[in-house]
């Protein structure tokens, strides 16, 4: 990255930290390989038609499987899901079969649905955007959305700040193959 780019990244970080977005686990499957990781970069990005965007780090195993995948599940984590968050944020599918260490059920097209997370969007990939940064955007058309109008409120989401001090399975500035 250029010196200019580095200073802009440094100046964005404190404001981004104050946003403290809720966390999700994105899971997917392609060629019989399951993958999943925690994401803080995700949001609704269309109303009509409805669209949901997720951003995967190019360093992650989930990205390398997701490039070939059609279906994704976005699991919105709450404070009861810390164990799931730790598994999917701090370990990598390059080394660990995460799905041997959690409870899940095969959903549409075999996409893994985490049994312990109630709030979920299952979507079909509509586009992939590489903006030349370290993350790639995937835009999903929702197929199934969990409906919990009486579910817990916004204060119950597990947020980026709740994982302070945790080390990600892959840092976003890693390169693959490693140099």
Residues that bind ligand FMN (CB under 6 A): 35, 37-41, 55-57, 60-62, 89-94, 135, 160, 163, 166, 168-170
User: Which candidate, 114, 58, 120, places its Cα nearest to that of 83?
Assistant: 114
Question: Cβ neighbours of residue 63 under 8 Å, at least 6 residues apart?
Answer: 56, 57, 136
**Residue closer to ligand FMN, measured from CB, 54 or 122:** 54
158's CB contacts (< 8 A; 6+ apart) are 22, 23, 77, 78, 79, 81, 82, 85
How far apart, in Å, do the first and last CA atoms of the chain sit? 16
Instruction: Output the smallest distance, CB 147 to ligand FMN, in A.
Output: 25
CA distance 61 to 116: 22
**In the complex, residue closest to ligand FMN by CB:** 169
**Smallest separation, CB 97 to ligand FMN (Å):** 10
The nearest distance, CB 149 to ligand FMN, in angstroms, is 27
Q: Which CB, 122 or 158, lies closer to ligand FMN?
A: 158
What 8-state DSSP symbol labels residue 84?
A: H
Q: Which is nearer to ligand FMN, 12 or 148 (CB)?
A: 12
Q: Which is nearer to ligand FMN, 127 or 148 (CB)?
A: 127
């Amino acid at each position: 990255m250029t010196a200019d780019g580095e200073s802009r990244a440094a100046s964005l970080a404190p404001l981004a930290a104050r946003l403290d977005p809720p966390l999700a686990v994105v899971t997917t499957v392609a060629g019989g390989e399951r993958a999943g990781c925690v994401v803080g970069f995700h949001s609704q990005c269309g109303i009509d038609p409805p669209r949901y965007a997720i951003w995967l780090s190019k360093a992650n195993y989930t990205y390398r499987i997701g490039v070939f995948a059609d279906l994704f599940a976005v699991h919105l984590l709450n404070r009861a899901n810390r164990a799931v968050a730790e598994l999917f944020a701090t370990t990598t599918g390059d080394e660990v079969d995460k799905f041997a260490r959690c409870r899940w059920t095969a959903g549409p097209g075999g996409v893994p649905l985490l049994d312990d997370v109630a709030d979920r969007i299952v979507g079909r990939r509509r586009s992939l955007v590489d903006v030349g940064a370290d993350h790639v955007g995937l835009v999903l058309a929702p197929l199934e959305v969990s409906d919990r109008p009486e579910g817990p409120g916004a204060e119950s989401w597990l947020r980026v700040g709740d994982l302070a001090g945790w080390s990600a399975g892959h840092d976003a500035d890693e390169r693959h193959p490693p140099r």
